[in-house]
């Protein structure tokens, strides 16, 4: 049991007292958002939302409740992300279940949603019956956020992880979105008909940089969803080789970028015949998403990937 949650003394015996003490313990441990982490974990342990937790500040806690809070606190002090502890994460104001099979959806990935929606709006296409694909869908966050915003659209998410696809389908059901289907394959192997929009947050961390990631990422995110090969560009090369033939004339690709990857990724997409829009920055000002468009007057035949880059063999359909 942590010192904060052991709660010796009158302050530690109440919800508010334990919340303050735990936030201070998290702060002393160097966690980035100690007060927020304490609020979420205590609320999760007591099954109270933010408002109810505030209202219960003077409520006394019994031993069982304090033990439950302490168990969650110890996991956070071991650098396990809060979203993994509570099993869900908010993305695009939607609640997504997360588990060990997927990345935790991150705020910077919302930049891809913003970029895609802005590009569609510029062309007056948001009300169309669009066909969307999400390559490496994970929890389904990108695809389902877009389908939430585009009620006339239909989508398919692909992933090599059967567990991730099960989770994505569960998230679709929980959000009441019945216009999403899921298929197990590497990137686009199971896709045939052309799409109006293809999105992806591919693995983009260089293999040699994995050990230097924050422990919340390095020790808890699946490495298959992080490892982008020697230079971090392995999956961008695969996407550039396959996506143009899967886009309708005028169709668009919206893709997340790693730090320092805007120029090399732009070069790959331009070499594949796509017209690039300016990269969209995240809240930190870094180029985080790029949209590339297939010109209407051009049509390219579907190419074949260099097998040294990535296998695209179909594994199985999951729906």
Phi, psi of 204 (to 5 degrees): -140, 10
Q: Report pLDDT digits (tens) over 85-101.
A: 999 999 999 999 999 99
Asked whether residue 83 is domain-assigned, the answer is no
CA-to-CA separations, 308 to 111, 234, 250, 289, 304, in angstroms, rounded: 31, 10, 30, 26, 11
Q: Report pLDDT digits (tens) over 102-124.
A: 999 999 999 999 999 999 999 99
In this structure, are 115 and 71 located in the same domain? Answer: no
Q: What is the CATH number of the domain that holds 265?
A: 3.40.50.150
- Could you say which of 50, 78, 106 is where a domain stops? 78
Judge contact between 228 and 252, C-beta under 8 A. no
Given this model, what pLDDT does residue 296 score? 78
Residue 317 has pLDDT above 50, yes or no: no
Domain count, the chain: 2
Closest of 77, 80, 78, 96 to residue 88, by C-alpha: 96
In this structure, are 128 and 49 located in the same domain? Answer: no
Average pLDDT of the segment spanning 291-318 = 49
In this structure, are 128 and 17 located in the same domain? Answer: no
In this structure, are 95 and 183 located in the same domain? Answer: yes
In this structure, are 74 and 124 located in the same domain? Answer: no
In this structure, are 174 and 258 located in the same domain? Answer: yes
Q: In whole angstroms, give the CA distance from residue 181 to residue 183.
A: 7
CA 266-269-273 angle, to 5 degrees, is: 130
Mean pLDDT of the chain: 90
Given this model, what pLDDT does residue 298 score? 43
Closest of 304, 305, 241, 303 to residue 274, by C-alpha: 241
Given this model, what pLDDT does residue 121 score? 97
In this structure, are 56 and 110 located in the same domain? Answer: no
Residue 154 has pLDDT above 70, yes or no: yes
Given this model, what pLDDT does residue 6 score? 52
- Could you say which of 58, 78, 98 is where a domain stops? 78
- Could you say which of 48, 78, 108 is where a domain stops? 78
Confidence tier at 192 by pLDDT (50, 70, 90):
confident
Q: What percent of the chain has pLDDT over 70?
A: 89
- For residue 9, the SS3 value is coil
In this structure, are 73 and 94 located in the same domain? Answer: no
Asked whether residue 105 is domain-assigned, the answer is yes
Q: Report pLDDT digits (tens) over 23-82.
A: 999 999 999 999 999 999 999 999 999 999 999 999 999 999 999 999 999 999 999 999
In this structure, are 53 and 93 located in the same domain? Answer: no
Q: Report pLDDT digits (tens) over 212-252.
A: 999 999 999 999 999 999 999 999 999 999 999 999 999 99
In this structure, are 71 and 137 located in the same domain? Answer: no
Given this model, what pLDDT does residue 193 score? 85
Asked whether residue 84 is domain-assigned, the answer is no
What is the domain range of residue 110? 89-317
Residue 161 has pLDDT above 70, yes or no: yes
Strands (E), the chain: 88-91, 94-97, 131-135, 154-159, 180-185, 195-200, 247-256, 274-276, 280-281, 287-294, 314-317
In this structure, are 200 and 264 located in the same domain? Answer: yes
In this structure, are 213 and 280 located in the same domain? Answer: yes
């Amino acid at each position: 049991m942590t010192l904060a949650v052991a709660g010796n003394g009158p302050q530690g015996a109440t919800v508010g007292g334990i919340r303050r003490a735990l936030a201070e313990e998290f702060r002393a441990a160097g966690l980035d958002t100690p007060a927020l982490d304490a609020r979420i974990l205590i609320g999760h342990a007591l099954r109270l939302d933010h408002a109810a937790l505030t209202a219960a500040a003077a409520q006394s806690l019994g031993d069982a409740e304090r033990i439950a809070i302490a168990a969650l606190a110890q996991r956070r002090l071991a650098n396990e992300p809060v979203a993994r502890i509570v099993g869900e994460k908010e993305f695009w104001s939607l609640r997504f279940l997360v588990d060990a099979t997927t990345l935790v959806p991150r705020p910077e990935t919302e930049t891809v949603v913003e970029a895609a929606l802005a590009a569609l709006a510029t062309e007056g296409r948001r009300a169309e019956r669009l066909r969307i694909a999400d390559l490496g869908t994970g929890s389904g966050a990108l695809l389902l956020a877009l389908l939430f915003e585009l009620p006339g659209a239909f989508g398919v998410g692909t992933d090599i992880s059967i567990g991730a696809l099960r989770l994505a389908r569960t998230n679709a059901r929980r959000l009441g979105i019945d216009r999403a289907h899921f298929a197990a394959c590497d990137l686009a192997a199971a896709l045939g008909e052309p799409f109006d929009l293809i999105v992806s947050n591919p693995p983009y961390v260089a293999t040699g940089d994995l050990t230097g990631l924050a422990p919340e990422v390095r020790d808890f995110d699946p490495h298959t969803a992080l490892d982008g090969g020697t230079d971090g560009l392995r999956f961008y090369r695969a996407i550039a080789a396959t996506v143009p033939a899967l886009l309708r004339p005028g169709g668009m690709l919206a893709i997340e970028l790693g730090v320092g990857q805007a120029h090399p990724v732009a070069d790959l997409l331009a070499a594949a015949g796509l017209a690039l829009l300016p990269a969209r920055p995240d809240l930190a000002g870094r180029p985080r998403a790029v949209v590339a468009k297939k010109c209407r007057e051009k049509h390219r035949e579907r190419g074949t990937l260099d097998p040294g880059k990535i296998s695209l063999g179909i594994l199985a359909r999951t729906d």
